[in-house]
Structure formats: structure tokens, C-alpha cells
Amino acid sequence: MSSYIDAHCHLGDKAFSEDIDAVLTDASQLGVKACLVCAESFHDFSRILKLCETYPKILLPCLGVHPAQEAPANPDSLLQPMRGANLQDLEPALKVMGMNSDKLAAIGEIGLDFTPWICGTHEERDEQRQVFRNQIQLAKGLGLPVNVHSRSAGRPTIEILREEGAEHVLLHAFDGSVKVAMQGLQLGYFFSVPPSIVRSEQKQKLVHKIPLENLLLETDSPALGPEKQRRNVPVNIRLSCEQIAKIKGVSTATVMEATTANALRLFPKLKTILHV
């Protein structure tokens, strides 16, 4: 099937509040057949569900509590401070995820983020781990895959997924080593590749080693684009496809067909959009 599936993006982000219709029109014209719109916090849920109801022919929601959450703003800083997720963040989210499980493509974005300025203490990391475990258990109970974040925490993320018996897993924009990625590969996990691969030697090495049968495409829009500090958009998914094709020595059509088939295997709800 010659189409693109954006397996992980954040089109509910305020970066798209003014032109989401044009962004999706451009994506559709390129051949993007579906985008999985991931949440980051409970506060995103209603906006994402409404967005996906507005564009049901191309968008599917994924709800989850991201391991990094916004901290109280510092008036002396231009940057939004972040902190590790805790059980209080998760509590109101669990009920809403369960109530909307029939609409969801996956539980996500969930996982671990051990970046020091986000989650620096053992206590914070332990609570982040528990938030992750609870959401894996929810996904298993609902029969849904998980869309997983693992920044600076590739090995512990895979360890928890294995311990919890997660089988249907997407490791998005994996930033770990090839050696650690192989542990996920042995468990049958999938890896999605953002457009930042064009400037990331680490991601190029991963794609070289990971079989095409375990790769998906993503954009992580508005982040992880081909250029730093510029808004990423779904049409940039073609850059991921082209770079994978170049590394693998195959055609872009081969990559499109394989990654779409892989996405359908991992996310069965896509069949409601692709009609296959």
C-alpha cells in the first residue's frame, strides 16, 4: 500500500492552533493516510478527542500521561520548566482513557524520561516508573498497544515493558544505542523514525541495524523536524521515508508499503481509516 502513516505526532499542540486544516490538507495531498495524535498530559485529552472527531478520516487519538510534565512557571525564565510525572497526574487520566478506549489507537504517549533537569532524583524516577507501569497495565487490560517515550532511559524503559509483559509496543524516536535497541527488537517491538534522522547519526545507525519489518514512520510534529527550532509538520514524513530507503538500499515505495503494513499490524484501529 503506497501511503504514509504518521505513527506519532502532536497535532493538538498550540503550534497548530491557527492552521491545522491547511496542515492536514497538505499531508493528505502528499499521501499521508492517517496520523496518530498523542497526548502529553490529562489536560490535552479533551482537545485531542475533539480534534480527532473533527477530522475522522485522517486522525486517530492516543491518550496517555507523558513522563515529563509542566512545572509551575518561573517568571525569570523564558523556558517552560518541566518535572517528572507523578501518580497525581495519572489519577484523573485513567478514567478518561478507559471511558474512551473504543476510540483510541493506543495508550500514549507514555514512558520514561530521565533527562537530569526533568527527573533528577531516585524518588522522582521511581514514581515515574510507577506511572509508566500503571499505564502499561491499563493498555493490556483494554487490549491496546502502547506508544512509548524513552528519552535518556532506553534500557530501563525496555526492562519495564518486558517485566509488565507488554507485547504491542512502539518505541518512538528512540535515542538509545543500537545495543539497547536490539533488546527491544528481540521482544518484537517496533521503532518509529522522525524526520530528524536527516541530521541524526544515532538514528541513522539504528535504522541501519533494525529490520524494515520493525520500522514505522513518524514526525513527532511539531518537534524533531529536519531543522532544529523550526515547526515540524506531517508532510516531512517523506524525509523519514527517503532516508530509510537510502540507508536500506531500497525504493521509497518499498519503505512506504512496509511501514504501512507494520503500522496496521501494531495499531488495528487504523483499519477504520484505511478501510482494509
Domains assigned to the chain: 4-274 (3.20.20.140)
Q: What is the pLDDT of residue 170?
A: 99
CA-nearest of 125, 124, 149 to 136 is 149
Q: What is the pLDDT of residue 81?
A: 87
Q: Would you call 31 exposed, middle or buried from its count of C-beta atoms within 10 A (0-12, 13-18, 19+)?
A: middle
Q: Are the beta carbons of 257 and 217 closer than 8 angstroms?
A: no
3-state helix/strand/coil string of 167-213: CCEEEECCCCCHHHHHHHHHCCCEEEECHHHHHCHHHHHHHHHCCHH
Quote the pTM value: 0.96
Render each residue's pLDDT in the chain as its tens digit; 276 residues. 579 999 999 999 999 999 999 999 999 999 999 999 999 999 999 999 999 999 999 999 999 999 999 988 765 555 678 999 999 999 999 999 999 999 999 999 999 999 999 988 999 999 999 999 999 999 999 999 999 999 999 999 999 999 999 999 999 999 999 999 999 999 999 999 999 999 999 999 999 999 999 999 999 999 999 999 999 999 999 999 999 999 999 999 999 999 999 999 999 999 999 987
CA-nearest of 226, 125, 233, 109 to 172 is 109
Bridge partners (DSSP) of residue 193 are 217
Q: Are the beta carbons of 173 and 8 closer than 8 angstroms?
A: yes
